[in-house]
């Protein structure tokens, strides 16, 4: 009689109650230790990228939307000495820049591993205000044709954000781990991979910049929509090949966008002069 009931002590909880509370506390500790650690955990230090990353920041972008500054806040832009480069600072690794004369490729993997990868953080609408020539680097490189997946320029060819440019270059060079790390900091980061599953895979198989250009041109010509939109760019490339000293196959849409902005200004000035004469 009364064997199924726990005896109550006048001076405190019963043994069964103490055992039950101790078991619950142990279960809580196990649950907490098995839970995944979140990025926003204040006590956790962010994972450091394998590749040293850096950028030139010209302060032209919206601070809240700037992917380069967000990478800096996460501590992922870590050159050996600098976090953000100054205009007169040199960078010994690969620099993604419109003044490059060839595409980034597997040939650059060794230099990227040894010296790092840098990007120029600026507004696409203000390219003419950026002194690209003063940004000293022994290896400026172009990116092949890719489409932006970021919310600001979504769907626009070649107008990539800093994180997209860095990730694309690293995937092309076989550094997928660091690319996944930095794109994983953005909610839309996976969209960039989804948009370019086949294209990035094709680029990463190329051994040099010339092969990447061939893959790019084949991709564009196989797509009727992009073929129509890029026809003027191809005409400009064939006519201006001797002006910039690049062979036709090495011309790239990122490189041509810088020239087009200057051409538009000249056309506007010509139109204004014509109106004044009339």
Q: Is 226 annotated as a binding residue?
A: no
Backbone angles phi, psi at 33, to 5 degrees: -70, -25
pLDDT score recorded for residue 73: 76
Choice between 278 and 12, residue whose per-residue pLDDT is larger: 12
101 is in an annotated binding site: no
Cβ-contact 172, 201 below 8 angstroms: no
- Is the pTM higher than 0.85? The answer reads no
Contact between 73 and 136 under an 8 Å Cβ cutoff? The reply is no
Q: Is 120 marked as a binding-site residue? A: yes
Lowest pLDDT segment from 121-135, 166-180, 208-222, 232-246? 232-246
270 pLDDT above the threshold of 60: no
> Which positions ≥6 away from 22 have C-beta within 8 Å?
none
Model pLDDT, residue 173:
95
User: At a CB cut-off of 8 Å and minimum separation 6, what does 268 contact?
Assistant: none
- CA–CA distances in Å: residue 41 to residues 44, 45, 179: 6, 8, 22
Task: Select, from the ranges 38-52, 60-74, 199-213, 240-254, the one with the highest average predicted confidence (pLDDT).
Answer: 199-213
Say how far residue 184 (Cα) sits from the centre of its chain.
11
As a whole number, the mean pLDDT across the chain is: 68
Tens of pLDDT along 40-79?
433 444 566 678 888 766 555 555 667 776 787 777 776 4
36 pLDDT band, cuts 50/70/90, is very low
Domain ranges of the chain: 53-267
What is the model's pLDDT at position 159? 84
- Average pLDDT of the segment spanning 228-236: 42
How far is residue 202's CA from residue 215's CA, in Å, rounded to a whole number? 7
């Amino acid at each position: 009689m009364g064997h199924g009931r726990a005896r109550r002590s006048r001076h405190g909880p019963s043994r069964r109650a103490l055992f039950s509370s101790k078991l619950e506390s142990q279960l809580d500790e196990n649950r907490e230790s098995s839970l995944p650690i979140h990025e926003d955990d204040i006590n956790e230090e962010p994972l450091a990228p394998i590749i040293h990353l850096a950028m030139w920041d010209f302060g032209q972008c919206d601070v809240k939307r700037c992917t380069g500054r967000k990478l800096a806040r996460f501590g992922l832009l870590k050159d050996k000495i600098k976090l953000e480069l100054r205009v007169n600072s040199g960078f010994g690794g690969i620099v993604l820049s419109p003044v490059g004369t060839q595409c980034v490729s597997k040939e650059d993997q060794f230099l990227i591993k040894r010296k790092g990868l840098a990007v120029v953080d600026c507004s696409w609408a203000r390219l003419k205000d950026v002194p690209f020539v003063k940004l000293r680097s022994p290896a400026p490189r172009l990116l092949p044709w890719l489409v932006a997946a970021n919310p600001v320029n979504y769907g626009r060819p070649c107008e990539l954000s800093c994180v997209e440019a860095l990730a694309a270059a690293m995937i092309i060079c076989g550094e997928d781990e660091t690319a996944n790390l930095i794109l994983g900091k953005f909610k839309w980061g996976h969209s960039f991979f989804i948009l370019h599953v086949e294209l990035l895979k094709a680029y990463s198989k190329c051994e040099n910049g010339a092969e990447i250009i061939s893959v790019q041109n084949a991709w564009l010509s196989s797509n009727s929509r992009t073929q129509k939109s890029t026809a003027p760019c191809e005409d400009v490339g064939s006519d201006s090949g001797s002006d910039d000293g690049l062979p036709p196959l090495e011309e790239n849409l990122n490189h041509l966008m810088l020239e087009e902005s200057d051409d538009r200004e000249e056309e506007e000035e010509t139109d204004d002069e014509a109106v004044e004469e009339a």
